[in-house]
Amino acid sequence: AQKVTQAQTEISVVEKEDVTLDCVYETRDTTYYLFWYKQPPSGELVFLIRRNSFDEQNEISGRYSWNFQKSTSSFNFTITASQVVDSAVYFCALSDPDNYGQNFVFGPGTRLSVLP
């Protein structure tokens, strides 16, 4: 069965701190895709990144970076020098081709609060 776990329900940091959001996934398939989405208070889901299972290179985009480790089935997301605008719920998701009909499996989300 496919499953995404985000153990941190809520995190609070002070502005300019670095913060890492954890994501652990379970899948039996060798080909899969991992995603991170941001959901600000307004509700829309903002796509942040997609990573396929064959690409374990870490990625950096501005203040955002992602650490994909197949050995531990983790796809962690780090925000450097956090800002108040980063406050949102962040979802990690898994897309498994064997479950095309169900498509995405979302984790429970981590609510990040960045305090000024």
Decide whether 76 or 95 has the Cβ nearer to another protein.
95
Decide whether 18 or 29 has the Cβ nearer to another protein.
29
**C-alpha closest to that of 10 among 23, 21, 26:** 21
Q: In whole angstroms, how close is the CB of 80 to another protein at the nearest point? A: 23
52 binds another protein (CB under 8 A): yes
CB-based burial label for 39 (10 Å; 0-12, 13-18, 19+): middle
12 binds another protein (CB under 8 A): no
* Among 14-22, 60-68, 78-86, 89-97, the segment contacting another protein (CB under 8 A): 89-97
Q: In whole angstroms, how close is the CB of 81 to another protein at the nearest point? A: 26
33 binds another protein (CB under 8 A): yes
Rounded Cα distance between 83 and 101, Å, is 37
43 binds another protein (CB under 8 A): yes
Rounded Cα distance between 32 and 11, Å, is 28
From the list 21, 25, 34, 37, which residue makes contact with another protein (rule: CB under 8 A)? Answer: 37
Q: What are phi and psi of 99, to 5 degrees?
A: -120, 50
Residue 38 in tokens? 């941001």
